[in-house]
A and B are shown apart, each in its own frame.
Chain A
Amino acid sequence: MKLKQLSVFLENKPGRLRELCALLADSGINMITISLADTEQFGILRLIVSDCEAAKAVLEEKGFVAKITEVIAVEVNDEPGGLRNVLQVEEAAGISVEYMYAFTIKSGENAVLLFRFDDMDKAVDALQTAGFKVLDSVALFNRADD
């Protein structure tokens, strides 16, 4: 029930992000969502793409450092309290969030929250026990294509 995320090291230099997007587009790789955590000097780009391994290979060939990391995708109603409910469950299970980001899927009402927890397996269990809809990649890509 975990999802593959591609993380890319991005030095803060003009044109680096554009170069990366162009590389993926030229290779026919679709970006489902993208998030950038940055500092003054460098950033960490986190991507959910249609083909993680292919994207990694394309980027590495052009000198990027890329790594595949697992994240958890949770679908919640796009309404107040959606994130809080997830965090409550994880807090109760003693799990901490390393980072998270979110996107809304095309069809509208639902949001997908993407998480990296310190204990990924325990986090999935806790969420499923609490009745959350944890998406695998197939489900996520289907929802994104809706």
Chain B
Amino acid sequence: MSKFVVENRIWDKEESLPRSDLAALQSSKLRKTVEQVQEVPFYQKKFAEAGLAAEKIQTLDDLQRLPFTTKADLRGEYPLGMLAVGKKDVARYHGSSGTTGQPTMVAYTHNDLKMWSNLCARFLTGGGLLPAHSVQIAFGYGLFTGGFGLHYGVERVGASIIPAAAGNTPKQLMLMMDMQVDALVCTPSYALNISEFIIQNDIPRNALNLKYAHFGGEPWTEDMRTRIEDEMGILCFNNYGLSEVIGPGVSGECAARDGMHIAEDAFIVECINPDTLEPVAPGEEGELVFTSLSKEAMPIIRYRTRDIASLNPEPCACGRTHIRMSRVTGRSDDMLIIKGVNVYPSQVEQALLRVEGTAPHYQIEVDRPDRKDIVTVKVEMTEESFSSSMKEMQELKDRINRAIQTITGLRMNIELVSPNSLERFIGKAQRVIDHRKKV
């Protein structure tokens, strides 16, 4: 365990606004956001379809009358259909980590960038960052929001940055040791790689000055936290965000490390039942839905994240008044993150449909036996695809593999199984078995 202790520090006063003030702030910002999105043809149409006039949205109670926005909506508006300002007002673009084809593009004005870096500064401060610290950012710098988002957050706090970017673990370790880095920013799975490298190369703990880390970009577990903390002797903090909403900075842990405070002055969060779309009771798991309150370039209304988590409205020991969210425990659409790439079961299904004679019955199993994600797709045999020739059976597996690789960009193991051997589900099929949760 780490000897490092994080003192309770709050970055700005908005984090501890009394709840009534916060509600008033949210109401007025919501009205403004609804007004802004009237500039976006997509929302004009959505409001018209719902028979909803912008001026009818006055209080937070009216929120539920607003239409949802989905990932498919954003894809349909590629590249810049969601823009609420002129292109000349955009300061930066980012994109979601789509696997193939088009990413979902998002845009930021100068004010948006300022607001975003402030949100990152909040959770970084909550998780130990001081101006005197040096931070190694081992996130990809590019369209992905992780690298730049955290970069400007660290800069905002006034700490120093080693923008190592993703990959090249030996170099990461060299920098970490030589620069006596205090904090690491990366995905939790990359942290496992770093930890493994330290163990394999017998790097003594005192060669490193690392005290804590901020992980995000993918779901992880408490078991993983314990493991990384034990192996590396550091404190690990969780943060959450998604490019469609803003990027990292939507929420992050405080020193209490008991849930992530959502920046409620910048977003309204809802937790809904993904089937009925009704709100779930506080503390109950549901799909998180975000409405932006401070964005200019691409304000978003009731964005369905597909991330499953629960909300905790209880006051936190740290003094922040913002609601806390749990870890993301799953996806309402079964999205998987494999080696940092987003994969949907529907993509595997699409690939199978391209291979003649393969049944629509399949299951995806993910494991991380050696800290590397291994994906196995089990496909039920049909008389049509079955052949008495082993060569043809191998060719069938190769065809399936190629089709999956074309669509997802990933190589997966293909297992041919007997018909009806995969469990059948009433309603929503459980296509994914993720054994990594046990790590």
Which residues of A line the B interface, CB within 8 A?
5, 7, 9, 11, 16, 37, 39, 41-42, 44, 46, 63-67, 69, 98-99, 116
Contact = CB atoms under 8 A, between A and B. Distances in A.
B389 A98 contact: yes
A9 B389 contact: no
Q: Is the interface of B mostly helix, strand, loop or mixed?
A: loop
A113 B420 CA distance: 35
B389 A42 contact: no
Interface string B389-421: 111010000000000000000000001111111
Contact of A65 (B383, B390, B391, B415): B383
B388 A67 contact: yes
A98 B388 CA distance: 9
A24 B390 CA distance: 24
11 contacts: A7-B387, A9-B386, A11-B417, A37-B390, A39-B390, A42-B393, A46-B388, A64-B418, A65-B383, A66-B383, A98-B391
Contacts, number: 52
A99 B390 contact: yes
B388 A11 contact: no
A11 B419 CA distance: 10
A107 B201 CA distance: 68
B382 interface: yes
A26 B383 CA distance: 23
Contacts of A99: 388-390
Contact of A116 (B388, B415, B417, B419): B388
A63 B420 CA distance: 7
Interface string B353-393: 00000000000000000000000000001110011111101
Interface of B: 381-383, 386-391, 393, 415-421
Contact of A7 (B386, B391, B415): B386
A67 B387 CA distance: 8
A22 B114 CA distance: 73
A11 B421 contact: yes
B300 to A, nearest CB: 45
Given A11-B421, A66-B383, A42 B416 contact: yes
B390 A9 contact: no
A9 B420 contact: no
Contact of A41 (B389, B390, B416): B416
A66 B389 CA distance: 13
A5 B79 CA distance: 57
Contacts of A66: 383
B401 to A, nearest CB: 14
A116 B420 contact: no
A44 B390 contact: yes
B168 to A, nearest CB: 35
B393 A44 contact: yes
B388 A69 contact: yes
Given A11-B421, A65-B383, A116 B389 contact: yes
